[in-house]
Structure 1
Amino acid sequence: MYDTISINTDARGVATLTLARPEKHNALSAQMIAELTDAANMLGQDDTVRVVVLTGEGKSFCAGGDLAWMQEQMAADRETRFSEARKIATMLYALNTLPKPLIGRLQGNAFGGGVGMTSVCDVAIGVDTLTMGLTETRLGLIPATIGPYVLVRMGETMARRVFMSSRLFGAEEAVSLGLLAKAVSADDLDKTVEAEVIPYLTCAPEAIARAKALTRRLGTPINDDVIDHTISELVACWEGQEAKDGVAAFFEKRPAPWIKQTSSD
Protein backbone atom coordinates (compact mmCIF):
# COMPACT_ATOMS: atom_id res chain seq x y z
CA MET A 1 0.00 0.00 0.00
CA TYR A 2 2.85 2.38 0.86
CA ASP A 3 6.42 2.65 -0.42
CA THR A 4 8.11 4.96 2.09
CA ILE A 5 6.31 3.95 5.29
CA SER A 6 4.80 0.79 6.75
CA ILE A 7 1.99 0.09 9.20
CA ASN A 8 1.67 -3.03 11.31
CA THR A 9 -1.18 -3.43 13.81
CA ASP A 10 -1.16 -6.10 16.49
CA ALA A 11 -4.12 -7.95 17.99
CA ARG A 12 -4.50 -5.31 20.72
CA GLY A 13 -4.94 -2.50 18.21
CA VAL A 14 -1.44 -1.04 18.64
CA ALA A 15 -0.36 0.24 15.22
CA THR A 16 3.32 0.77 14.51
CA LEU A 17 3.83 3.46 11.87
CA THR A 18 7.37 3.15 10.55
CA LEU A 19 9.35 5.58 8.40
CA ALA A 20 10.90 3.24 5.85
CA ARG A 21 13.59 5.10 3.88
CA PRO A 22 16.60 3.90 5.89
CA GLU A 23 18.96 4.44 2.96
CA LYS A 24 18.00 8.15 3.09
CA HIS A 25 17.90 8.29 6.90
CA ASN A 26 14.10 8.56 6.64
CA ALA A 27 14.26 12.05 5.16
CA LEU A 28 10.82 13.45 4.38
CA SER A 29 10.34 13.24 0.61
CA ALA A 30 7.21 14.40 -1.22
CA GLN A 31 6.02 10.80 -1.39
CA MET A 32 6.62 10.16 2.31
CA ILE A 33 4.81 13.37 3.22
CA ALA A 34 1.78 12.29 1.17
CA GLU A 35 1.84 8.77 2.58
CA LEU A 36 2.13 9.98 6.17
CA THR A 37 -0.85 12.30 5.66
CA ASP A 38 -2.92 9.45 4.26
CA ALA A 39 -1.81 7.10 7.04
CA ALA A 40 -2.68 9.62 9.76
CA ASN A 41 -6.17 10.06 8.33
CA MET A 42 -6.66 6.32 7.92
CA LEU A 43 -5.44 5.44 11.41
CA GLY A 44 -7.54 8.19 12.92
CA GLN A 45 -10.70 6.74 11.36
CA ASP A 46 -9.93 3.09 12.18
CA ASP A 47 -11.91 2.13 15.27
CA THR A 48 -9.78 -0.99 15.78
CA VAL A 49 -6.64 1.10 16.34
CA ARG A 50 -6.15 2.10 19.97
CA VAL A 51 -2.58 3.47 20.00
CA VAL A 52 -0.07 4.50 17.31
CA VAL A 53 3.70 4.13 17.76
CA LEU A 54 5.81 6.24 15.37
CA THR A 55 9.31 4.95 14.67
CA GLY A 56 11.87 4.55 11.89
CA GLU A 57 13.92 1.90 10.14
CA GLY A 58 17.69 1.95 10.22
CA LYS A 59 20.15 4.17 12.05
CA SER A 60 18.09 7.38 11.99
CA PHE A 61 14.60 8.22 13.16
CA CYS A 62 14.27 11.08 10.67
CA ALA A 63 16.95 13.28 9.13
CA GLY A 64 14.46 16.05 8.30
CA GLY A 65 13.27 17.28 4.94
CA ASP A 66 14.68 15.64 1.82
CA LEU A 67 17.09 18.23 0.43
CA ALA A 68 16.61 17.08 -3.17
CA TRP A 69 12.88 17.77 -2.73
CA MET A 70 13.67 21.21 -1.26
CA GLN A 71 15.99 21.97 -4.15
CA GLU A 72 13.13 21.22 -6.54
CA GLN A 73 10.98 23.81 -4.76
CA MET A 74 13.64 26.46 -5.20
CA ALA A 75 13.45 25.93 -8.96
CA ALA A 76 9.65 25.68 -9.07
CA ASP A 77 7.11 28.43 -9.71
CA ARG A 78 5.61 30.25 -6.73
CA GLU A 79 2.28 28.42 -6.82
CA THR A 80 4.06 25.06 -6.67
CA ARG A 81 6.22 26.23 -3.76
CA PHE A 82 3.18 27.19 -1.72
CA SER A 83 1.41 23.95 -2.64
CA GLU A 84 4.36 21.78 -1.58
CA ALA A 85 4.92 23.75 1.63
CA ARG A 86 1.25 23.30 2.51
CA LYS A 87 1.56 19.54 2.03
CA ILE A 88 4.19 19.22 4.76
CA ALA A 89 2.20 21.55 7.03
CA THR A 90 -0.90 19.44 6.45
CA MET A 91 1.00 16.25 7.28
CA LEU A 92 2.26 17.65 10.57
CA TYR A 93 -1.21 18.91 11.49
CA ALA A 94 -2.75 15.51 10.68
CA LEU A 95 -0.30 13.73 12.98
CA ASN A 96 -0.64 16.35 15.72
CA THR A 97 -4.44 16.07 15.76
CA LEU A 98 -4.57 12.28 15.34
CA PRO A 99 -7.44 11.20 17.65
CA LYS A 100 -5.34 8.36 19.07
CA PRO A 101 -2.33 8.43 21.40
CA LEU A 102 0.82 8.91 19.30
CA ILE A 103 3.98 7.60 20.95
CA GLY A 104 7.36 8.36 19.43
CA ARG A 105 9.93 5.57 19.44
CA LEU A 106 13.20 7.22 18.43
CA GLN A 107 15.67 4.47 17.64
CA GLY A 108 18.14 6.95 16.17
CA ASN A 109 18.98 10.54 15.35
CA ALA A 110 16.44 13.26 14.56
CA PHE A 111 17.29 16.48 12.75
CA GLY A 112 15.18 19.34 11.44
CA GLY A 113 11.84 17.89 10.42
CA GLY A 114 12.67 14.86 12.55
CA VAL A 115 12.51 17.11 15.60
CA GLY A 116 9.15 18.27 14.30
CA MET A 117 7.98 14.68 13.97
CA THR A 118 9.05 14.11 17.57
CA SER A 119 7.14 17.20 18.68
CA VAL A 120 3.79 16.06 17.25
CA CYS A 121 3.95 12.90 19.37
CA ASP A 122 2.06 12.88 22.66
CA VAL A 123 5.10 11.35 24.29
CA ALA A 124 8.49 10.43 22.81
CA ILE A 125 11.06 7.92 24.06
CA GLY A 126 14.55 7.88 22.56
CA VAL A 127 17.72 5.86 22.79
CA ASP A 128 20.31 7.50 24.99
CA THR A 129 22.89 7.52 22.18
CA LEU A 130 20.89 9.65 19.76
CA THR A 131 21.71 13.15 18.53
CA MET A 132 19.13 15.81 17.70
CA GLY A 133 19.23 19.29 16.27
CA LEU A 134 17.23 21.95 14.45
CA THR A 135 19.79 22.21 11.68
CA GLU A 136 17.89 24.32 9.14
CA THR A 137 19.82 27.58 9.58
CA ARG A 138 23.06 25.87 8.52
CA LEU A 139 21.41 25.55 5.11
CA GLY A 140 19.90 29.02 4.92
CA LEU A 141 16.49 27.68 5.96
CA ILE A 142 14.42 27.95 9.15
CA PRO A 143 12.31 25.49 11.21
CA ALA A 144 9.15 26.91 9.66
CA THR A 145 6.26 24.45 9.36
CA ILE A 146 7.55 22.43 12.32
CA GLY A 147 7.97 25.59 14.39
CA PRO A 148 4.55 25.70 16.08
CA TYR A 149 4.85 22.11 17.28
CA VAL A 150 8.43 22.54 18.50
CA LEU A 151 7.46 25.71 20.41
CA VAL A 152 4.45 24.00 22.00
CA ARG A 153 6.64 21.09 23.08
CA MET A 154 9.64 23.04 24.34
CA GLY A 155 8.26 26.48 25.21
CA GLU A 156 9.85 29.67 23.89
CA THR A 157 12.55 29.90 26.54
CA MET A 158 13.85 26.40 25.90
CA ALA A 159 13.36 26.64 22.13
CA ARG A 160 15.51 29.74 21.86
CA ARG A 161 18.46 27.70 23.13
CA VAL A 162 18.50 25.56 19.98
CA PHE A 163 15.96 26.94 17.46
CA MET A 164 18.30 29.29 15.59
CA SER A 165 21.84 27.98 16.19
CA SER A 166 21.63 24.55 14.49
CA ARG A 167 23.52 23.27 17.52
CA LEU A 168 23.45 19.50 17.94
CA PHE A 169 22.51 18.02 21.31
CA GLY A 170 22.24 14.59 22.87
CA ALA A 171 19.45 12.61 24.45
CA GLU A 172 19.97 13.95 27.96
CA GLU A 173 19.58 17.53 26.79
CA ALA A 174 16.60 16.52 24.63
CA VAL A 175 14.90 15.35 27.84
CA SER A 176 15.69 18.62 29.60
CA LEU A 177 14.33 20.56 26.62
CA GLY A 178 11.08 18.59 26.76
CA LEU A 179 11.46 16.85 23.41
CA LEU A 180 11.90 13.42 24.95
CA ALA A 181 10.08 12.10 27.99
CA LYS A 182 12.84 9.56 28.61
CA ALA A 183 16.17 8.50 27.17
CA VAL A 184 16.94 4.81 27.60
CA SER A 185 19.38 2.19 26.34
CA ALA A 186 18.62 0.51 23.03
CA ASP A 187 17.94 -2.70 24.93
CA ASP A 188 15.29 -0.97 27.05
CA LEU A 189 13.63 1.03 24.26
CA ASP A 190 10.82 -1.38 23.41
CA LYS A 191 10.09 -2.13 27.05
CA THR A 192 9.84 1.57 27.86
CA VAL A 193 7.59 2.29 24.87
CA GLU A 194 5.37 -0.63 25.87
CA ALA A 195 5.03 0.86 29.35
CA GLU A 196 3.59 3.99 27.70
CA VAL A 197 1.21 1.93 25.53
CA ILE A 198 -0.34 -0.29 28.22
CA PRO A 199 -2.30 2.35 30.19
CA TYR A 200 -4.17 3.44 27.07
CA LEU A 201 -5.49 -0.08 26.53
CA THR A 202 -7.44 0.25 29.78
CA CYS A 203 -9.06 3.58 28.78
CA ALA A 204 -12.17 4.36 26.75
CA PRO A 205 -11.10 5.22 23.16
CA GLU A 206 -13.62 8.03 22.64
CA ALA A 207 -12.72 9.57 25.98
CA ILE A 208 -9.03 9.49 25.00
CA ALA A 209 -9.82 11.23 21.70
CA ARG A 210 -11.90 13.89 23.44
CA ALA A 211 -9.26 14.43 26.11
CA LYS A 212 -6.53 14.81 23.50
CA ALA A 213 -8.63 17.28 21.51
CA LEU A 214 -9.26 19.23 24.71
CA THR A 215 -5.55 19.59 25.40
CA ARG A 216 -5.11 21.14 21.98
CA ARG A 217 -8.09 23.46 22.49
CA LEU A 218 -6.82 24.64 25.88
CA GLY A 219 -3.17 24.78 24.86
CA THR A 220 -1.36 27.16 22.51
CA PRO A 221 -3.50 27.42 19.36
CA ILE A 222 -2.08 26.14 16.09
CA ASN A 223 -4.75 27.52 13.76
CA ASP A 224 -4.99 28.36 10.05
CA ASP A 225 -3.35 31.76 10.55
CA VAL A 226 -0.36 30.24 12.31
CA ILE A 227 0.02 27.49 9.72
CA ASP A 228 -0.35 29.93 6.81
CA HIS A 229 2.39 32.12 8.32
CA THR A 230 4.79 29.19 8.63
CA ILE A 231 4.10 28.23 5.01
CA SER A 232 4.85 31.78 3.87
CA GLU A 233 8.08 31.79 5.88
CA LEU A 234 9.21 28.49 4.36
CA VAL A 235 8.48 29.71 0.83
CA ALA A 236 10.34 32.95 1.54
CA CYS A 237 13.39 30.91 2.48
CA TRP A 238 13.09 28.75 -0.63
CA GLU A 239 13.00 31.95 -2.71
CA GLY A 240 15.98 33.52 -0.95
CA GLN A 241 19.61 33.34 -1.97
CA GLU A 242 20.83 31.88 1.34
CA ALA A 243 18.87 28.63 0.90
CA LYS A 244 20.10 28.26 -2.67
CA ASP A 245 23.68 28.77 -1.53
CA GLY A 246 23.34 26.54 1.54
CA VAL A 247 21.73 23.59 -0.19
CA ALA A 248 24.13 23.85 -3.14
CA ALA A 249 27.07 23.85 -0.73
CA PHE A 250 25.68 20.75 0.97
CA PHE A 251 25.42 18.80 -2.28
CA GLU A 252 28.81 20.03 -3.49
CA LYS A 253 30.37 19.18 -0.11
CA ARG A 254 31.88 22.60 0.41
CA PRO A 255 31.42 25.25 3.09
CA ALA A 256 28.50 27.62 2.75
CA PRO A 257 29.60 31.22 2.05
CA TRP A 258 28.63 32.49 5.52
CA ILE A 259 30.78 30.01 7.46
CA LYS A 260 33.49 31.81 9.42
CA GLN A 261 36.55 30.49 11.17
CA THR A 262 35.52 29.34 14.65
CA SER A 263 38.97 29.56 16.18
CA SER A 264 41.27 32.54 16.63
CA ASP A 265 44.29 30.36 15.85
Structure 2
Amino acid sequence: MTDSILSERRGSAAWLTLNRPQIHNAFDDALIAALTEALAAADADPAVRTVVLSGNGSCFSAGADLNWMRGMAAASERENREDSLRLARLMRTLQFLSKPTVARVNGAAYGGGVGLVACCDIAIGVDSAKFALSEVKLGLVPAVISPYVVAAIGLREARRLFVTGEVFDAAEAQRIGLLHAVVAGTELDEAIERQLYLLAKAGPLAQREAKRLALRIGGAEMTEAERIDTENAALIARLRVSPEGQHGLGAFLDKRAPAWITG
Protein backbone atom coordinates (compact mmCIF):
# COMPACT_ATOMS: atom_id res chain seq x y z
CA MET A 1 0.00 0.00 0.00
CA THR A 2 1.24 3.50 -0.80
CA ASP A 3 1.44 6.45 1.59
CA SER A 4 -1.60 8.00 -0.12
CA ILE A 5 -3.79 5.97 2.26
CA LEU A 6 -3.15 5.58 5.97
CA SER A 7 -4.60 2.38 7.43
CA GLU A 8 -5.00 2.00 11.18
CA ARG A 9 -6.81 -0.46 13.41
CA ARG A 10 -8.64 1.00 16.42
CA GLY A 11 -10.25 -1.89 18.17
CA SER A 12 -12.54 -3.61 15.68
CA ALA A 13 -12.69 -0.56 13.39
CA ALA A 14 -10.41 -0.07 10.38
CA TRP A 15 -9.66 3.65 9.92
CA LEU A 16 -8.71 4.53 6.34
CA THR A 17 -7.46 8.08 5.85
CA LEU A 18 -6.85 9.79 2.53
CA ASN A 19 -3.32 11.10 2.97
CA ARG A 20 -2.51 13.78 0.41
CA PRO A 21 -3.19 16.86 2.57
CA GLN A 22 -0.89 19.10 0.54
CA ILE A 23 -3.31 18.81 -2.41
CA HIS A 24 -6.50 18.44 -0.36
CA ASN A 25 -6.57 14.63 -0.64
CA ALA A 26 -7.28 14.78 -4.37
CA PHE A 27 -7.61 11.56 -6.37
CA ASP A 28 -5.01 10.13 -8.71
CA ASP A 29 -4.42 6.59 -10.00
CA ALA A 30 -2.30 5.64 -6.99
CA LEU A 31 -4.83 6.82 -4.42
CA ILE A 32 -7.71 5.10 -6.23
CA ALA A 33 -5.80 1.81 -6.38
CA ALA A 34 -4.61 2.06 -2.76
CA LEU A 35 -8.06 2.84 -1.36
CA THR A 36 -9.69 0.05 -3.38
CA GLU A 37 -7.08 -2.37 -2.04
CA ALA A 38 -7.45 -1.13 1.55
CA LEU A 39 -11.24 -1.50 1.44
CA ALA A 40 -10.98 -5.03 0.05
CA ALA A 41 -8.48 -5.96 2.77
CA ALA A 42 -10.75 -4.60 5.51
CA ASP A 43 -13.71 -6.46 4.06
CA ALA A 44 -11.76 -9.74 4.05
CA ASP A 45 -10.45 -9.34 7.62
CA PRO A 46 -12.77 -11.15 10.08
CA ALA A 47 -11.44 -9.02 12.96
CA VAL A 48 -12.72 -5.81 11.31
CA ARG A 49 -16.32 -4.95 12.20
CA THR A 50 -16.56 -1.43 10.75
CA VAL A 51 -14.66 0.90 8.41
CA VAL A 52 -14.17 4.63 8.99
CA LEU A 53 -13.15 6.76 6.01
CA SER A 54 -11.68 10.23 6.52
CA GLY A 55 -9.18 12.73 5.16
CA ASN A 56 -5.90 14.02 6.56
CA GLY A 57 -5.69 17.77 7.09
CA SER A 58 -8.45 20.31 6.57
CA CYS A 59 -10.22 18.62 3.63
CA PHE A 60 -11.99 15.32 3.11
CA SER A 61 -11.26 15.20 -0.63
CA ALA A 62 -11.15 17.83 -3.36
CA GLY A 63 -11.94 15.31 -6.10
CA ALA A 64 -9.59 14.90 -9.05
CA ASP A 65 -5.92 15.79 -8.81
CA LEU A 66 -4.91 18.52 -11.30
CA ASN A 67 -2.01 16.56 -12.74
CA TRP A 68 -4.27 13.54 -13.15
CA MET A 69 -6.80 15.76 -14.94
CA ARG A 70 -4.10 17.06 -17.28
CA GLY A 71 -3.20 13.49 -18.16
CA MET A 72 -6.81 12.55 -18.83
CA ALA A 73 -7.35 15.68 -20.95
CA ALA A 74 -4.55 14.49 -23.23
CA ALA A 75 -5.54 10.80 -23.17
CA SER A 76 -7.55 8.89 -25.74
CA GLU A 77 -11.20 7.98 -25.28
CA ARG A 78 -10.19 4.37 -24.56
CA GLU A 79 -7.69 5.46 -21.90
CA ASN A 80 -10.29 7.74 -20.32
CA ARG A 81 -12.80 4.90 -20.24
CA GLU A 82 -10.32 2.57 -18.52
CA ASP A 83 -9.45 5.31 -16.03
CA SER A 84 -13.12 5.88 -15.24
CA LEU A 85 -13.70 2.16 -14.75
CA ARG A 86 -11.00 2.11 -12.06
CA LEU A 87 -12.75 4.93 -10.19
CA ALA A 88 -16.08 3.14 -10.68
CA ARG A 89 -14.63 -0.02 -9.14
CA LEU A 90 -13.55 1.98 -6.07
CA MET A 91 -17.02 3.45 -5.60
CA ARG A 92 -18.68 0.08 -6.16
CA THR A 93 -16.34 -1.59 -3.66
CA LEU A 94 -17.22 0.98 -1.01
CA GLN A 95 -20.95 0.89 -1.78
CA PHE A 96 -21.21 -2.90 -1.52
CA LEU A 97 -18.70 -3.48 1.29
CA SER A 98 -20.17 -6.18 3.52
CA LYS A 99 -19.36 -4.24 6.70
CA PRO A 100 -20.79 -0.93 7.95
CA THR A 101 -18.94 2.12 6.70
CA VAL A 102 -18.76 5.56 8.32
CA ALA A 103 -17.65 8.72 6.51
CA ARG A 104 -15.84 11.08 8.88
CA VAL A 105 -16.17 14.22 6.77
CA ASN A 106 -13.53 16.45 8.30
CA GLY A 107 -13.75 19.17 5.64
CA ALA A 108 -14.61 19.99 2.05
CA ALA A 109 -15.68 17.26 -0.37
CA TYR A 110 -15.94 17.91 -4.10
CA GLY A 111 -16.67 15.67 -7.08
CA GLY A 112 -15.41 12.19 -6.32
CA GLY A 113 -15.13 13.14 -2.66
CA VAL A 114 -18.91 13.57 -2.61
CA GLY A 115 -19.14 10.14 -4.21
CA LEU A 116 -17.18 8.56 -1.36
CA VAL A 117 -19.47 10.20 1.21
CA ALA A 118 -22.56 9.00 -0.66
CA CYS A 119 -21.27 5.41 -0.76
CA CYS A 120 -20.87 5.17 3.02
CA ASP A 121 -23.66 3.85 5.23
CA ILE A 122 -23.30 6.67 7.75
CA ALA A 123 -21.90 10.14 7.08
CA ILE A 124 -21.09 12.72 9.73
CA GLY A 125 -19.48 16.03 8.81
CA VAL A 126 -18.12 19.18 10.39
CA ASP A 127 -20.25 22.30 10.18
CA SER A 128 -17.58 24.14 8.16
CA ALA A 129 -17.51 21.58 5.32
CA LYS A 130 -18.38 22.62 1.76
CA PHE A 131 -19.55 20.37 -1.07
CA ALA A 132 -19.92 20.58 -4.83
CA LEU A 133 -20.65 18.51 -7.92
CA SER A 134 -19.09 21.07 -10.24
CA GLU A 135 -18.32 18.91 -13.29
CA VAL A 136 -20.70 20.82 -15.59
CA LYS A 137 -18.51 23.90 -15.15
CA LEU A 138 -15.80 21.94 -16.98
CA GLY A 139 -18.12 20.69 -19.71
CA LEU A 140 -18.38 17.29 -18.00
CA VAL A 141 -20.84 15.36 -15.80
CA PRO A 142 -20.47 13.42 -12.49
CA ALA A 143 -21.04 10.18 -14.36
CA VAL A 144 -19.20 7.58 -12.31
CA ILE A 145 -20.49 8.76 -8.93
CA SER A 146 -24.02 9.52 -10.14
CA PRO A 147 -25.75 6.26 -9.05
CA TYR A 148 -24.49 6.65 -5.49
CA VAL A 149 -25.19 10.37 -5.21
CA VAL A 150 -28.71 9.99 -6.61
CA ALA A 151 -29.37 7.14 -4.16
CA ALA A 152 -28.13 9.30 -1.27
CA ILE A 153 -29.87 12.61 -1.98
CA GLY A 154 -32.72 11.69 -4.31
CA LEU A 155 -33.41 12.42 -7.96
CA ARG A 156 -34.84 15.90 -7.50
CA GLU A 157 -31.89 17.28 -5.52
CA ALA A 158 -29.41 15.51 -7.78
CA ARG A 159 -30.92 17.11 -10.88
CA ARG A 160 -30.50 20.55 -9.33
CA LEU A 161 -26.93 20.06 -8.16
CA PHE A 162 -25.79 18.22 -11.29
CA VAL A 163 -26.89 21.06 -13.59
CA THR A 164 -25.87 24.04 -11.43
CA GLY A 165 -22.56 22.74 -10.10
CA GLU A 166 -23.09 25.02 -7.13
CA VAL A 167 -21.21 24.89 -3.83
CA PHE A 168 -23.37 24.03 -0.81
CA ASP A 169 -22.67 23.92 2.91
CA ALA A 170 -22.92 21.22 5.55
CA ALA A 171 -26.39 22.25 6.67
CA GLU A 172 -27.66 21.83 3.11
CA ALA A 173 -25.80 18.53 2.80
CA GLN A 174 -27.68 17.29 5.86
CA ARG A 175 -31.01 18.61 4.60
CA ILE A 176 -30.75 16.71 1.32
CA GLY A 177 -29.46 13.51 2.93
CA LEU A 178 -25.78 13.50 1.99
CA LEU A 179 -24.84 13.87 5.67
CA HIS A 180 -26.72 12.23 8.52
CA ALA A 181 -25.39 14.64 11.13
CA VAL A 182 -23.42 17.90 11.30
CA VAL A 183 -21.25 18.73 14.30
CA ALA A 184 -18.64 21.26 15.35
CA GLY A 185 -15.09 20.27 14.47
CA THR A 186 -14.24 19.70 18.12
CA GLU A 187 -17.13 17.24 18.40
CA LEU A 188 -16.46 15.17 15.27
CA ASP A 189 -14.47 12.35 16.83
CA GLU A 190 -16.94 12.01 19.69
CA ALA A 191 -19.77 11.72 17.15
CA ILE A 192 -17.86 9.06 15.20
CA GLU A 193 -17.12 7.08 18.36
CA ARG A 194 -20.81 7.22 19.24
CA GLN A 195 -21.68 5.61 15.91
CA LEU A 196 -19.01 2.94 16.36
CA TYR A 197 -20.40 2.20 19.83
CA LEU A 198 -23.89 1.72 18.39
CA LEU A 199 -22.60 -0.41 15.50
CA ALA A 200 -20.67 -2.67 17.87
CA LYS A 201 -23.92 -3.68 19.60
CA ALA A 202 -25.28 -5.45 16.50
CA GLY A 203 -24.60 -9.01 15.42
CA PRO A 204 -22.09 -8.96 12.55
CA LEU A 205 -23.96 -11.49 10.40
CA ALA A 206 -27.29 -9.72 10.93
CA GLN A 207 -25.60 -6.40 10.19
CA ARG A 208 -24.19 -7.71 6.93
CA GLU A 209 -27.55 -9.11 5.89
CA ALA A 210 -29.36 -5.93 6.97
CA LYS A 211 -27.09 -3.83 4.76
CA ARG A 212 -27.55 -6.22 1.85
CA LEU A 213 -31.31 -6.13 2.42
CA ALA A 214 -31.46 -2.33 2.37
CA LEU A 215 -29.41 -2.17 -0.84
CA ARG A 216 -31.53 -4.85 -2.52
CA ILE A 217 -34.85 -3.28 -1.55
CA GLY A 218 -33.49 0.07 -2.73
CA GLY A 219 -32.70 -1.44 -6.12
CA ALA A 220 -28.91 -1.58 -5.74
CA GLU A 221 -27.54 -4.86 -7.08
CA MET A 222 -23.88 -5.57 -7.87
CA THR A 223 -24.44 -6.90 -11.38
CA GLU A 224 -26.64 -3.95 -12.31
CA ALA A 225 -24.13 -1.55 -10.77
CA GLU A 226 -21.38 -3.02 -12.93
CA ARG A 227 -23.50 -2.53 -16.05
CA ILE A 228 -24.29 1.08 -15.13
CA ASP A 229 -20.63 1.75 -14.32
CA THR A 230 -19.62 0.52 -17.77
CA GLU A 231 -22.13 2.85 -19.43
CA ASN A 232 -21.14 5.81 -17.27
CA ALA A 233 -17.43 5.25 -17.87
CA ALA A 234 -18.10 5.35 -21.61
CA LEU A 235 -20.12 8.56 -21.17
CA ILE A 236 -17.47 10.47 -19.24
CA ALA A 237 -14.74 9.24 -21.59
CA ARG A 238 -16.71 10.54 -24.57
CA LEU A 239 -17.31 13.90 -22.90
CA ARG A 240 -13.67 14.32 -21.87
CA VAL A 241 -12.49 14.05 -25.47
CA SER A 242 -15.39 16.09 -26.92
CA PRO A 243 -14.76 19.69 -28.06
CA GLU A 244 -16.69 21.11 -25.10
CA GLY A 245 -14.97 18.84 -22.60
CA GLN A 246 -11.54 19.65 -24.00
CA HIS A 247 -12.31 23.37 -23.91
CA GLY A 248 -13.71 23.21 -20.37
CA LEU A 249 -10.81 21.19 -19.01
CA GLY A 250 -8.32 23.45 -20.73
CA ALA A 251 -9.96 26.58 -19.36
CA PHE A 252 -10.00 25.14 -15.85
CA LEU A 253 -6.37 24.02 -15.96
CA ASP A 254 -5.28 27.37 -17.44
CA LYS A 255 -7.38 29.26 -14.84
CA ARG A 256 -9.46 31.12 -17.38
CA ALA A 257 -13.19 31.35 -17.95
CA PRO A 258 -14.69 29.00 -20.55
CA ALA A 259 -16.29 30.57 -23.62
CA TRP A 260 -19.84 29.62 -22.57
CA ILE A 261 -19.83 32.07 -19.65
CA THR A 262 -21.59 35.13 -21.01
CA GLY A 263 -22.72 37.00 -17.90
Q: TM-score range by the shorter chain?
A: over 0.9
> 1:139 aligns to what?
138
Q: Counterparts of 1:107-118 in structure 2 under 5 Å?
A: 107-118=106-117
- The question of whether the paired residues in 2 share the 8 Å contact of 1:70 and 1:238 is answered with no
When structure 1 is superposed on structure 2, of 110-119 and 216-225 the one drifting more is 216-225
- Residues 1:215 and 2:214 aligned together: yes
- The question of whether the paired residues in 1 share the 8 Å contact of 2:109 and 2:132 is answered with yes
Q: Counterparts of 1:170-209 in structure 2 under 5 Å?
A: 170-209=169-208
- The question of whether the paired residues in 2 share the 8 Å contact of 1:152 and 1:220 is answered with no
When structure 1 is superposed on structure 2, of 231-240 and 74-83 the one drifting more is 74-83
Distance 1:133 1:54 in 2: 19
| TM-superposed deviation, 1:76 | 2.2
| TM-superposed deviation, 1:79 | 2.8
Q: Counterparts of 1:5-44 in structure 2 under 5 Å?
A: 5-10=5-10, 12-44=11-43
- The question of whether the paired residues in 2 share the 8 Å contact of 1:132 and 1:170 is answered with yes
**Aligned-partner SS, 1:61:** strand
> 2:84 aligns to what?
85
| TM-superposed deviation, 1:137 | 0.8
- The question of whether the paired residues in 1 share the 8 Å contact of 2:78 and 2:237 is answered with no
> What one-letter code is carried by the residue in structure 1 that aligns with 2:120?
C
Distance 1:140 1:115 in 2: 19
> 2:127 aligns to what?
128
Gapped runs of 5+ residues in structure 2? Answer: none
From the superposition, tell whether residues 146 and 217 of structure 1 become closer, same or farther in structure 2 (CA, over 3 Å).
Answer: same
Distance 1:134 1:234 in 2: 14
- The question of whether the paired residues in 2 share the 8 Å contact of 1:74 and 1:244 is answered with yes
From the superposition, tell whether residues 254 and 77 of structure 1 become closer, same or farther in structure 2 (CA, over 3 Å).
Answer: closer
> What one-letter code is carried by the residue in structure 1 that aligns with 2:136?
T
Distance 1:231 1:215 in 2: 26
TM-score normalised by length of structure 1: 0.94
When structure 1 is superposed on structure 2, of 66-75 and 55-64 the one drifting more is 66-75
Distance 2:157 2:80 in 1: 31
- Corresponding residue to 2:255 among 248, 253, 256: 253
> 1:94 aligns to what?
93
Distance 1:85 1:160 in 2: 21
- The question of whether the paired residues in 1 share the 8 Å contact of 2:103 and 2:122 is answered with yes
**Aligned-partner SS, 2:94:** helix
Distance 2:75 2:255 in 1: 24
> 1:234 aligns to what?
236
**Aligned-partner SS, 2:7:** strand
- The question of whether the paired residues in 1 share the 8 Å contact of 2:174 and 2:182 is answered with yes
**Aligned-partner SS, 2:125:** strand
> What one-letter code is carried by the residue in structure 2 that aligns with 1:178?
G
Aligned residue pairs total: 260
Q: Counterparts of 1:145-160 in structure 2 under 5 Å?
A: 145-160=144-159
* CA deviation vs aligned residue, 1:199-236 (integer Å, no higher than 9, x gap): 11122212211211121111133512211111111111
> 1:57 aligns to what?
56
- The question of whether the paired residues in 1 share the 8 Å contact of 2:21 and 2:56 is answered with yes
- The question of whether the paired residues in 2 share the 8 Å contact of 1:67 and 1:247 is answered with no
- The question of whether the paired residues in 2 share the 8 Å contact of 1:53 and 1:105 is answered with yes
When structure 1 is superposed on structure 2, of 196-205 and 87-96 the one drifting more is 196-205
| TM-superposed deviation, 1:80 | 2.0
> What one-letter code is carried by the residue in structure 1 that aligns with 2:7?
I
When structure 1 is superposed on structure 2, of 103-112 and 76-85 the one drifting more is 76-85
- The question of whether the paired residues in 1 share the 8 Å contact of 2:77 and 2:238 is answered with no
> 2:73 aligns to what?
74
Question: Aligned-residue CA RMSD in angstroms?
Answer: 1.2
When structure 1 is superposed on structure 2, of 144-153 and 130-139 the one drifting more is 130-139
